Amino acid sequence: MDESSQQSPAVISVAERFAYSSGEIGNNLIWGMLTGYLLFFYTDVLQLAAGVAAAIISFARIWDGINDPLIGALVDRTTTRWGRFRPFIMFGSLPLAVAFVAIFSVPAFTGTGRIVYAIVTYLLFDTLFTVVGNSRNAMFPSMTRNQDERVSVQSTNAVFIFIGSTITNVATPVLTERLGGGDLQVGFQLTALIYAAIALLTYFLVITFAKERYLPDPEQEQPYDLQQGLRVLFTNRPLILLALAQIASQTSTALITAGVVFFFANNIGNLSLLSLAAAVIGIPLVAGTLLAPLVAKRIGRKATIVGAFVILGLCYALNWFSNEQEPTSFIVIAGIAGLFAGVPTVMIFGMLPDAVDYGEWKVGIRADGIVYSGLFLAQKFAVLIASLIIGGTLTVTGYVAGVEQTASALIGIKLLVTVIPGAVALVGCAMLAYNLTEDRYAEILLELEERRRLSGAQP
Domain ranges of the chain: 8-213+223-455
Whole-number average pLDDT of the chain: 85
* pLDDT digit string, tens, across residues 4-34: 333 444 577 888 888 898 998 998 899 889 8
Average pLDDT over residues 387-414: 89
Categorize the per-residue pLDDT at 50 as very low, low, confident or very high, splitting at 50, 70 and 90.
Answer: confident
Question: Which of 216, 213, 241, 230 lies closest to 351 in space, CA to CA?
Answer: 241
Sign of the CA dihedral running 308, 160, 276, 175: negative
Average pLDDT over residues 124-136: 90
Q: May I ask the CATH class of domain 8-213+223-455?
A: mainly alpha
**Reported pTM:** 0.71
Residue 87 has pLDDT above 70, yes or no: yes
Distance CA 31, CA 99 (A): 12
Least confident of 62-66, 121-125, 340-344, 404-408: 62-66
Residue 418 has pLDDT above 70, yes or no: yes
The pLDDT value recorded for residue 142 is: 77
> Which of 68-72, 138-142, 161-165, 390-394 is the most confident on average?
390-394
The pLDDT value recorded for residue 49 is: 85
Who has greater pLDDT, 425 or 438?
425
* pLDDT digit string, tens, across residues 56-84: 888 887 787 777 777 877 877 777 788 88
* pLDDT digit string, tens, across residues 204-246: 999 998 888 776 655 555 666 667 777 877 889 999 999 999 9
Residues 6 or more apart whose Cβ sits within 8 Å of residue 437: none
Who has greater pLDDT, 422 or 351?
422
The pLDDT value recorded for residue 217 is: 57
Question: Which of 234, 218, 269, 216 lies closest to 371 in space, CA to CA?
Answer: 234
Average pLDDT over residues 183-193: 94
Residue 155 has pLDDT above 80, yes or no: no
Residue 299 has pLDDT above 70, yes or no: yes
